[in-house]
Amino acid sequence: MVSLEDSHSTSNRFPLTRNCYSPSSTTSSKISRNIGRSMRTIRSNFFQDDNSCTFNGSVAAKSVCVSENLTDSVIDLRLGELASRSPKWSKQSSEQEQDFLELSHAFSDFSACSSDISGELQRLASLPSMAVVPQREGEDGDPEPEPCLGFLQRENFSTEIIESISPEDLQPTVKICIDGLQSSSIAVKRSAAAKLRLLAKNRSDNRVLIGESGAVPALIPLLRSTDPWTQEHAVTALLNLSLHESNKVIITNAGAVKSLVYALKTGTETSKQNAACALMSLALLEENKTSIGVCGAIPPLVSLLLNGSNRGKKDALTTLYKLCSIKPNKERAVTAGAVKPLVALVAEQGTGLAEKAMVVLSSLAGIQEGKDAIVEEGGIAALVEAIEDGSVKGKEFAVLTLLQLCVESVRNRGLLV
């Protein structure tokens, strides 16, 4: 993660809102603030490079011959042993499935999920030219303070300006934004959601204050906005807020899940990606996994897996992995047709998706319906091909997934020959 240094904030760095609340201060002070995870860098790699793939606990010991030096002869030996195994060995399958899920724990780390890059790029694209404008004689170099409504009417606020708001100004600023969310003007709603999105982007203390100030219930109706940019800002604001643990409960209790699923179905590409990641964040609370599945999140996640960009597919894979740690959601994923695109992704090279798809397949192989679907969609052949041509990590995951598929099935073991 990129560490952020404490920033310096003065009373005149953000004149647009300060004059609306309190008299200006003439002294500068260094503001200490708690920095949360930066949404600019929150998308990290799901895995490290090939040489850094390590496993913990009993799985590392069980698969030492695979993870330390995975050669063709070792693979042949392991698969040969597998094909000759007695069905009695199947008693270990439940333990093995749990081990596999544990070894792939890094896959479910939320730091692998979405970033709030899209809003920053959109903002930069809309900035006016940086050409120097001659200053008229007698003009002050500082911008003239705007009325409070002007704060929301301005479209082009940089992250730096938003984040420079001093702590004493933050609460009234948030109050202006929350009031703006309930405006009759769609432009004001959109701007208010965008400001909250930026305020919650990097600072954990901001996320706490915004969550406690009642912004969440005001953001949720905008998830169903017919204006795509308003919807996108609202989705991403909730994603940013959900990074703080206490806000996960606030967002869930406010009834956001169904509206996030709606945005996942109907939004822009960015809205869909960030809705998926917001659901992933909420699913970090174990009690939310069932309700997210019941609210219909899995079919649109499968659709994103089929039709999304590379980033969208990664977000869908991450969220599916987390949700499918419980049996009802595994069943929903199989019913929604998740297996076919997962098998297709296993065969893709150079996208960084193959290993992730194998981990999700291994989760679905934890139920009989999942095993059957994987075999029917040609999953065994795809996994064998991954052993032959894939990365070191890919070979390890492919072997372990094949073990899951074949440990209780003579028929499936026969398909390896």
Residue 7: what pLDDT?
38
Which CATH number covers residue 60? 1.25.10
Q: Is residue 170 a part of any domain in this protein?
A: yes
Q: pTM of the predicted model, to two decimals?
A: 0.68
Q: Is residue 126 a part of any domain in this protein?
A: no
Mean pLDDT of 219-248: 97
Q: Nearest CA to 207 among 173, 247, 234, 169?
A: 247
Q: Which amino acid is at 41?
A: T
Mean pLDDT of 54-71: 37
Which CATH number covers residue 176? 1.25.10.10
| Last residue of one domain, picked from the residues 254, 280, 314 | 254
Residues 173 and 102 in one domain: no
Residue 73: what pLDDT?
41
Domain count, the chain: 2
Per the CB < 8 A criterion, the answer to whether 399 and 75 are in contact is yes
User: How many Å apart are CA 9 and CA 194, to the nearest integer?
Assistant: 21
Residue 368: what pLDDT?
93
The count of other CB atoms within 10 Å of the CB of residue 254 is 16
Residue 88: give the domain boundaries.
47-113+338-417
- The Cα-based distances of 416 to 63, 80, 134, 405 in angstroms read 19, 9, 75, 11
Over residues 84-128, the pLDDT tens digits come to 444 443 444 444 444 444 433 434 333 444 445 444 444 434 444
Over residues 126-166, the pLDDT tens digits come to 444 333 333 333 334 443 333 344 555 555 555 566 666 77
Q: What percent of the chain has pLDDT over 70?
A: 59
Averaged pLDDT score across all residues of the chain: 73
Q: Nearest CA to 336 among 378, 282, 373, 372?
A: 373
257, pLDDT greater than 80: yes
| Last residue of one domain, picked from the residues 191, 222, 254 | 254
Q: Is residue 208 a part of any domain in this protein?
A: yes
Q: Is residue 16 a part of any domain in this protein?
A: no
Q: Is residue 182 a part of any domain in this protein?
A: yes
Q: Token pair of 122, please?
A: 């959109």
- The Cα-based distances of 47 to 51, 108, 109, 196, 393 in angstroms read 11, 10, 10, 31, 9
Per the CB < 8 A criterion, the answer to whether 379 and 339 are in contact is yes
332, pLDDT greater than 70: yes
Residue 417: what pLDDT?
63
User: How many Å apart are CA 315 and CA 291, to the nearest integer?
Assistant: 19
Mean pLDDT of 187-194: 95
Cβ neighbours of residue 334 closer than 8 Å, sequence gap 6 or more:
364, 367, 369, 370, 373
Q: Is residue 345 a part of any domain in this protein?
A: yes
402, pLDDT greater than 50: yes
Residues 160 and 241 in one domain: yes
Cβ neighbours of residue 346 closer than 8 Å, sequence gap 6 or more:
354, 357, 358, 361, 379, 382, 383, 386, 398
Residue ranges of the alpha helices (H) in 203-255? 204-212, 215-219, 228-242, 245-253
Residue 168: what pLDDT?
75
Q: Would you say how long the chain is, in residues? A: 417
Q: Is residue 414 a part of any domain in this protein?
A: yes
Mean pLDDT of 340-346: 95
Q: Is residue 293 a part of any domain in this protein?
A: no
| Last residue of one domain, picked from the residues 254, 270, 286 | 254
197, pLDDT greater than 70: yes
Min mean pLDDT across 1-5, 165-169, 374-378 is at: 1-5
Residues 343 and 409 in one domain: yes
Residue 12: what pLDDT?
42
Residues 172 and 236 in one domain: yes
344, pLDDT greater than 90: yes
Over residues 353-373, the pLDDT tens digits come to 999 999 999 999 999 999 999
Per the CB < 8 A criterion, the answer to whether 18 and 95 are in contact is no
**Residue 30 backbone phi and psi in degrees, to 5:** -85, 125
Over residues 71-92, the pLDDT tens digits come to 334 334 444 444 444 444 344 4
